[in-house]
Structure 1
Amino acid sequence: MRNILRMLALLGTAGTMHLFTGCGGGHDHDHDHEVGHEHVHHAPHGGALGMLGDHAFQIEIAPDADGGKVDLYVLDGEAENFIRIAAPAIAAVAEVAGSEQPLLFQAVASEATGETVGDSSHFSVLAPELAMKSEFEITFAELELLGQVFESVSIPYPEGTHGD
């Protein structure tokens, strides 16, 4: 009987320690923020993320080979929320194997989200040959996002950038 009581006491202590120091179920957090781990963001559409400023914004570049287009999403610094901007279009240049191709991403309106041209976080350009490439880089001479101007922004696909 004594051994059973000792075992129950040990299990209770271990469970309490786990509650205060460990990671239990029923929550939603990312272990990448813990000490000794790299701070990582995940692209919501499986594309490449480009960090702007010190976690001010993220730009996601997501090619859609089936649709023959490349999508661009403006996100917050954690890549969790969409940020609508007033631009009707965003100019860029794609570089693929040493060759340059000008792009004009057009704002995408959506009844589902209420986004309109001039108030959108989603932009798209029809570029079938680029959308099928496994590696390319997109450069923006200038991006204005909510009053902040970012110059000479390059985002390599598929690896993206972390603002380094």
Structure 2
Amino acid sequence: MRQLPPGIHPPGPDQRRLQPGPRPRLDRFLRDEAGSSRSQRRWRPPATPEDGPVDQTARRACRELTRLVAAAWPHARHHQPEDASWSDLHPDHVAKIQADLPNVPPAAAALALRVWGRMHGLVALEIDGHIHPVAGNPAALHRAEMLDLVRSLGLA
């Protein structure tokens, strides 16, 4: 078994979820080491059934975010590149967008994905423990990013 990275110490059984700190890195390290071969060491999320609760929730969140961007599109379009086309997006995603929101232009759908990426990116960084070491006030960072997203939609 490899040595733990510097600054990472395995918790006792009663401390595993109680102490703040770089838990995601340790959990990922321990999962990686649990695999019996190199190909199994990379953690992957468990497969979820197609059109199951996870898929339905993701589709609903994406649809509502796209609906929000589409509502802001008359203001946002002046701040966005105009060269987006449906071919820039995955055909399955295009089919879902067009089924749920048939009047959304491809540039608005692309903008919705960029908005989602910016929101998800900060959340993922925080979950993985990367925000606290570099941001004195993570809440202010999140607020500033959301305000910038509102401005990018032409709503500020």
Same fold (TM over 0.5): no
Q: Which has the larger radius of gyration?
A: 1
TM-score by length of 2: 0.22
- Higher strand content, 1 or 2: 1
- Higher helix content, 1 or 2: 2
Relative contact order, higher structure (CA 8 A, sep 6+): 2
TM-score by length of 1: 0.22
